Structure 1
């Protein structure tokens, strides 16, 4: 079987789209499409389901990726050689807010040194599954992965704070709630651990991005619970107020996760840079 076809398949599998894989391969999108079709014809099985945005791997693709990825990666490392350690893009994934505000700035020096980076946002469980399936190289996760095959290193602790807009003087327990999901995941934990009660049922506003939640609180929609790093500037300026200052605020440990096998130079450099920078987060 043609190694180039396998390399193209693996790039599409990891990128989640034909178009997204093309730049890392140095190929045009029609060439990537043709190579995937050629591999499917050789195998006699469908590898991807084409969607409006990207592709979804079939179970056949999942199995093929698990079988060939270590070997294709090893051959690529041999071909690239130590002088070209950053030639293969690093596929990094994590929560949108933390990745945007903390993770990416920590990698500025590596990108300036030639690192090519491909970034995906998503929920921790989905991203960890993608890491195990070799769609990603490094994942910043809000949960510690279970089972073997992945190595998780504590990165930093995020502290949660109950916030309201400037001048708020009501009772936060009865104020409208702004959340990033209907089931109030962060708020529910804060209410239980700090206030000892369940939060009121049903948020007033749901925005599926904590940066949007921050904007809603700033403009007076209600109160919410946010990671302190996300709203530190607004708290310092007084645009937001911390409604409670518990002696032991809820925290959540974040992890940088890679596969248990030895890292390629690019992913290893990303992991090490994040661990070095996390002390000031």
Structure 2
């Protein structure tokens, strides 16, 4: 059986789409369709059900993928090892929100440059756009809080991020922390708020987790909106108001007394980050190495 046909088949099986598979393989969609039809004729069985949006494998297709994919991945690892032995540079394309990529992910991957890798980062706050780019081959790894379910992706929990309600000392002194503990967010009515979006995504998550209620739009509205948590932190440090921030972004300022935590819930709200790759791609040596390095580094985040 032609290995090229099997490679195309496994790529379509993992991508769930002829279009995405064509982009990953560097082929046209008609070429991918033709190869799948050729393989189906050779086997005498349909391998995919054609749907309005993509394809789903038949039972025969699932069985063939289960048998063929590990062997194709092994051949790919051999090929990649030979390329590395020849000194070929490999580019790693990673996408995710600017804060975690800038402060955690890229520093963790930086040592790979000394091992013959080049790094290309795309700063994307929108998870859907990042995952679409991953599926179509524009990115190799995506860091996101949106865990994809199945399809062409494999997601691994990377780390948990604790959120903290903070303010500069001036504003913190105006908050009755006892009332905040007893009455909840009503104690914060009228306080200026800094957020990443008008819909108050971080505040809403915090309020629901800690106070068991969404924020009241009539008494709490953003006075500063900036789509970068580092800028949110700097605005709060400058006295613009209160904000919800990841602890890793504000711990140094808390330790120095430049920020004050307004609440210390016994169970702090957490957000989980996931490392997402295309299924099968860790068989590529440079992607597997990057994935392992990130998982190792994240154990200490």
TM-score past 0.5 threshold: yes
User: Which shifted more, 157-166 or 102-111?
Assistant: 102-111
Residue 154 of structure 2 corresponds to residue 196 of structure 1: no
Indicate which of 173, 184, 201 corresponds to 1:169: 173
Residue 94 of structure 2 corresponds to residue 92 of structure 1: yes
Q: CA RMSD in A?
A: 2.7
The 3-state SS of whatever aligns with 1:116 is strand
Check conservation: 1:85, 1:266, Cα contact below 8 A.
no
The 3-state SS of whatever aligns with 2:222 is coil
Check conservation: 2:209, 2:269, Cα contact below 8 A.
yes
Indicate which of 135, 140, 145 corresponds to 2:138: 135
Residues 204 and 193 from structure 1, CA distance in 2 versus in 1: closer, same or farther, beyond 3 angstroms? same
Residue 266 of structure 2 corresponds to residue 247 of structure 1: yes
How high is the TM-score relative to the length of structure 1? 0.72
The 3-state SS of whatever aligns with 1:81 is helix
Structure 1: gaps (5+ residues): 1-59
Partner of 2:278: 259
Residues 117 and 92 from structure 1, CA distance in 2 versus in 1: closer, same or farther, beyond 3 angstroms? same
Residues 94 and 64 from structure 1, CA distance in 2 versus in 1: closer, same or farther, beyond 3 angstroms? same
Indicate which of 240, 244, 259 corresponds to 1:225: 244
Residues 105 and 224 from structure 1, CA distance in 2 versus in 1: closer, same or farther, beyond 3 angstroms? same
CA distance in 2, matches of 1:196, 1:212: 28
Partner of 1:152: 155
Check conservation: 1:86, 1:116, Cα contact below 8 A.
no
CA distance in 1, matches of 2:203, 2:174: 17
CA distance in 2, matches of 1:121, 1:112: 23
CA distance in 1, matches of 2:92, 2:139: 8
Give CA-to-partner distance per residue, 1:90-129, whole Å, 9 cap, x none: 1011110011111111112211222101000112221111
Return the offset for 1:85: 6.9
CA distance in 1, matches of 2:226, 2:268: 24
Structure 2: gaps (5+ residues): 1-17, 33-71, 176-186
Partner of 1:41: none
Return the offset for 1:192: 1.4
CA distance in 2, matches of 1:84, 1:224: 51
How high is the TM-score relative to the length of structure 2? 0.67
CA distance in 2, matches of 1:135, 1:180: 26
Partner of 1:117: 119
Partner of 1:18: none
